[in-house]
Amino acid sequence: MENVIEIKNLKKYYKGVKAVDGVSLTVEKGKIIAILGPNGAGKTTTVETLEGLREATSGDIYYFGEKVNKISNEIKEKIGVQLQSNSFFENLNVKEIIKAFGGLYEKSIPVATLLERFKLKEKKNSKIKNLSGGQLQRVALAVSVVNDPDIVFLDEPTTGLDPQARRNLWEEIEKLKKDGKTIILTTHYMEEAEKLADKIYIFDMGKVIAEGTMKSLIDSINMSSVIEFETDSEDHIKNEFPNLNAFDQKYEIETDNVEKDLIKLMEISKEKDFLINNIFIRKPNLEDVFLHLTGRSLRE
Amino acid sequence: MKRIINLTKTYTKALFREPEAVFFTLLFPAAMLIFFITIFGGLYNGENEIQVRVGVVYEEELTGFSEKIFNNVFEGFKENMKDSDIEYLEKNTDINQLIKEEKYDLIIKFPENINNLNLKMMTGLGNIDNIKFYHSPKSQSILSRDIMESIFQQINLMINSKGEQIKLNANYQTINSENSNFDYKQFIFPGILIMAIFTASIFNLPISYVADIETKIIKRMKSTPVRGYQYFIALLISNLILLLLALIIIYSVGYYSNIENIFKIDFILLIIYYLICGISFGLLIASFFKKIASVSVFANILYFSTIFLSGLYFPVKDVPWIIRWFVYLNPGTYMVDGLRNVLNNNDLSLNQFLVPTIWMIMGLILFSVSYRRLLKDE
């Protein structure tokens, strides 16, 4: 499969801060790549360097197999960008915004087609400042593909959206993939990466700490299940389960033997006379991978 | 080119949908012009204080009672009206020329037989020719005539109290001054033009630009094939379109208010030159800010102090020394005076060209140095 983007040892340093510290990644044509990581992991800096918004301190970038020193207009014609913050003229309406951005490229998709495609027909005359979060993200998505790009960068497209709006946007992103677009998605929602990505890069402190498909990443931590529960008596359990992870009032035990650890948990509860609530057994996910690799939660 | 046109269309649309920008650029200056013309249009050119210059010509040296009466009157006038002045002129003075040149608001000419007043007051005999008042049709000149007329009525009352039926008569001659067409409308019109230019350059341009930085619109533009210079051209043109419309409205008001010389080619060229200077002044401001809140506060302070201390609404040559330095540094002072000079057929002074030019060069240099830094979002 053809690589449309390749980065080798990309570094972006600011005064005393290594925002990106030797990142290498490849993006295959027609795939969705998720860059997952907590805030400040270097996700946005990496994609903004690829978009030409920042200059790399060092490292090599290849677009469509060719090394580029600067992101030229020729490349910008072939990529679509959705920034982390939606930056549009507030007093223009949806139709005008799509048309305005279309006018900045050599070729563009007709406004009516995009309004139809992203279910914005009814809102075409609404001013940007009057749109809801979900509608605004759909406009941003429409604008990001107005030039019919080969590659689309989506920087945390669902941040701040309610679950329904988030799911709707996921559908739109999947449709883009079906249209043959290559998508690079940054997110700190593991569900988003799990749902959409063909390949996931996990970032932490400016580095890629793991990469692969979701299955390969989960398999890599050799964990069969996780027992989740709530309790107000952490100290009693901590001694018995050294691999206990705590998140607010919630606790998790990584285990290879669910039955044995569950019985052990119940016995401690009975013996020490404290309550355990909302017990839930689940398969490991990307959160566990991140936890396993860094000792911290993605949400921290 | 296609990108610049499309971007300009977008910016123009966005700018015209900003109620504040439209009101303050398009409507406010024209409303101010109408307001000022309506309120002050009948007054002389903004010199509001009563300050009259009176010349006195005696065809015959005064003696006796006449001398005493008139000397007392004129000295009393000097004492009571500190800012005014009375000068005694030579007998063969060219009165018409002095009035035309506006050297005096009023010249009073006493006849050759004025000393007959002495005889008349004692014996009731003898004739006295009329005293002549020469003045221009300007309000300040007419005001001087009215003041002197009331003083002479007072003299008549004094004379009557000493004798019988003695009365000094006067006749009046109006002489058009060389600048007789100049009035308050001519004074305020250039000021309103500069006000519109400064509204666009000090307010709209830097605030639009800094807003684009803060709201990340520039960043969004940078992710497209738009280049920095294309963005600036579009931003400038959209602001110029709004300003051009404002100038057309001000010109329409000026035309219907019979303001003269507004279509003079050198006047229009000077407006265009000052417009370029104003825009550069705006770019100078934009060079220092990245936050809307900071640029708004600074633009407000600068705009109002620049406008009020430029002589736009009132003369500023006599402001206290503590703010006089700002008047002299303010490019608006020279721009307003320059436009007034050209509108009223006077020559442009070197300073009226040089000072705005220095500001323009400073603005362009500083902005060209800083704009890459400002465009970076790192």
- The string of DSSP codes covering B203-271 is IIHHHHHHHHHHTTHHHHHHTTT--HHHHHHHHHHHHHHHHHHHHHHHHHHHHHTT-TTTT-HHHHHHH
A chain contacts of residue B216, beta-carbon cutoff 8 Å: 83, 85, 87
Residues A129 and A263 reside in one and the same domain: no
Closest to A87 (Cβ–Cβ): which among B219, B227, B378? B219
Distance CA B16, CA B244 (A): 13
Distance CA A38, CA A44 (A): 11
Instruction: Evaluate whether residue A231 is within a structural domain.
Output: yes
- β-pair type (A79-82, A151-155): parallel
Residues B69 and B105 reside in one and the same domain: yes
**Domain finish residue from B174, B199, B233:** B174
- What is the pLDDT at residue A300? 56
A193 confidence band (pLDDT: 50, 70, 90): confident
Q: Residue B333 is encoded by which pair of tokens?
A: 């002072």
A201 confidence band (pLDDT: 50, 70, 90): very high
Residues B301 and B209 reside in one and the same domain: yes
Domain tally for chain A?
Answer: 2
- Domain residues for B246? 2-44+182-375
Question: Tokens 């046109």 correspond to what residue?
Answer: B5
CB-based burial, A122-156: b 16+ in 10 Å, e otherwise: ebbebbbeebeebbbbbbbbbbbbbbbbbbbbbbb
**Domain finish residue from B158, B174, B190:** B174
User: Is A133 an 8 Å CB contact of chain B?
Assistant: no
The residues near B125 (Cβ < 8 Å, ≥ 6 apart) are B119
Question: Looking at the DSSP assignment, which residues form a beta bridge with residue A228?
Answer: A252, A280
pLDDT, mean of residues A134-144: 87
The dihedral over CA atoms of A146, A151, A154, A155, expressed in degrees to the nearest 10, equals -120
Instruction: Evaluate whether residue A275 is within a structural domain.
Output: yes
Distance CA B87, CA B92 (A): 15
B177 confidence band (pLDDT: 50, 70, 90): low
* Contact (CB, 8 A) for B164 and B146: no
Residues A105 and A241 reside in one and the same domain: no
**Domain finish residue from A193, A219, A245:** A219
A194 confidence band (pLDDT: 50, 70, 90): confident
Q: Is B235 exposed, middle or buried (0-12, 13-18, 19+ CB in 10 A)?
A: buried
| Interface touch A103/B14, C-beta < 8 Å | no
Closest CA to A286 of A233, A213, A234: A213
Distance CA A252, CA A274 (A): 17
For residue B105, pLDDT beyond 50: yes
Radius of gyration, CA atoms only, chain A: 22
Closest CA to B330 of B349, B350, B311: B311
Phi, psi of B244 (to 5 degrees): -60, -45
Q: What integer best gives the mean pLDDT of chain A?
A: 85
Does pTM top 0.80 for this prediction? no
Residues B127 and B74 reside in one and the same domain: yes
User: Is B17 an 8 Å CB contact of chain A?
Assistant: yes
B chain contacts of residue A81, beta-carbon cutoff 8 Å: 220, 223-224
- Domain residues for A72? 3-219
Q: What is the CATH number of the domain that holds B85?
A: 3.40.1710.10
pLDDT, mean of residues B371-376: 65
Domain tally for chain B?
Answer: 2
Residues B208 and B168 reside in one and the same domain: no
| Interface touch B377/A103, C-beta < 8 Å | no
CA distance B220 to chain A (A): 6
Q: What is the CATH number of the domain that holds A137?
A: 3.40.50.300
CB-based burial, B119-128: b 16+ in 10 Å, e otherwise: bbbeeeeeeb
Residues B204 and B238 reside in one and the same domain: yes
B291 confidence band (pLDDT: 50, 70, 90): confident
Residues A135 and A276 reside in one and the same domain: no
Residues B170 and B186 reside in one and the same domain: no
Question: Greater confidence, A127 or B311?
Answer: A127
DSSP B78-130: HHH-TT-EEEEE-TT--HHHHHHTTS-SEEEEE-TTTTHHHHHHHHS----PP
Q: Residue B1 is encoded by which pair of tokens?
A: 């080119």
**Domain finish residue from B174, B203, B225:** B174
- One-letter amino acid at A281 equals I
- What is the pLDDT at residue A149? 92
A chain contacts of residue B5, beta-carbon cutoff 8 Å: 103
Instruction: Mark which residues 12-41 of A lie under 8 Å from B by CB.
Output: 14
pLDDT in tens, B68-83: 878 877 877 777 776 7
pLDDT in tens, A20-69: 888 889 998 889 999 988 888 888 899 999 888 888 888 899 998 888 88
Instruction: Evaluate whether residue A293 is within a structural domain.
Output: no
Residues A56 and A70 reside in one and the same domain: yes
Residues A101 and A178 reside in one and the same domain: yes
Residues A184 and A155 reside in one and the same domain: yes
- What is the pLDDT at residue B373? 66
User: Is B100 an 8 Å CB contact of chain A?
Assistant: no
Instruction: Evaluate whether residue A289 is within a structural domain.
Output: no
Q: Which of B36-50, B154-168, B328-342 has the lowest mean pLDDT?
A: B36-50
CA distance A113 to chain B (A): 20
Closest CA to B267 of B354, B364, B186, B363: B186
For residue B290, pLDDT beyond 90: no
Task: Give the Cβ contact number of residue B262 at 10 Å.
Answer: 19
Residues B227 and B348 reside in one and the same domain: yes
Residues B222 and B347 reside in one and the same domain: yes
| Interface touch B224/A101, C-beta < 8 Å | yes
Residues B22 and B108 reside in one and the same domain: no
B chain contacts of residue A88, beta-carbon cutoff 8 Å: 217, 220
Residues B34 and B62 reside in one and the same domain: no
For residue A99, pLDDT beyond 70: yes
- What is the pLDDT at residue B157? 67
For residue B171, pLDDT beyond 60: yes
Q: CA-CA distances (angstroms) from residue B111 to A198, B136, B170? A: 112, 21, 10
- What is the pLDDT at residue A32? 92
For residue B182, pLDDT beyond 60: no
- One-letter amino acid at B131 equals I
Distance CA B3, CA B9 (A): 10
B46 confidence band (pLDDT: 50, 70, 90): very low
ipTM associated with this complex:
0.80
Q: What share of chain B has pLDDT > 70, as a percent? A: 89
Task: Give the Cβ contact number of residue A73 at 10 Å.
Answer: 14
For residue A98, pLDDT beyond 60: yes
Instruction: Evaluate whether residue A296 is within a structural domain.
Output: no
Question: Greater confidence, A218 or B178?
Answer: A218
Residues A189 and A260 reside in one and the same domain: no
Residues A47 and A129 reside in one and the same domain: yes
Distance CA B330, CA B278 (A): 12
Residues B199 and B335 reside in one and the same domain: yes
The residues near B318 (Cβ < 8 Å, ≥ 6 apart) are none
Residues A9 and A127 reside in one and the same domain: yes
Distance CA B198, CA B186 (A): 19
Residues A113 and A87 reside in one and the same domain: yes
Residues A153 and A263 reside in one and the same domain: no
* Contact (CB, 8 A) for A278 and A230: yes
Question: Greater confidence, B125 or A47?
Answer: A47
Closest to B225 (Cβ–Cβ): which among A54, A76, A100? A76
Closest to B217 (Cβ–Cβ): which among A87, A105, A147? A87
Q: Residue B12 is encoded by which pair of tokens?
A: 């123009």
Residues A53 and A200 reside in one and the same domain: yes
Q: CA-CA distances (angstroms) from residue B206 to B203, B212, B284, B369? A: 6, 10, 9, 16
pLDDT, mean of residues B43-48: 46
Q: Residue B201 is encoded by which pair of tokens?
A: 């350059």
- What is the pLDDT at residue A224? 77
* Contact (CB, 8 A) for B36 and B184: yes
State the best of B223, B229, B230 to mutate against chain A, taking most chain A CBs within 10 Å: B223
Residues B211 and B67 reside in one and the same domain: no
For residue A205, pLDDT beyond 80: yes
Q: CA-CA distances (angstroms) from residue B363 to A42, B169, B201? A: 37, 64, 12
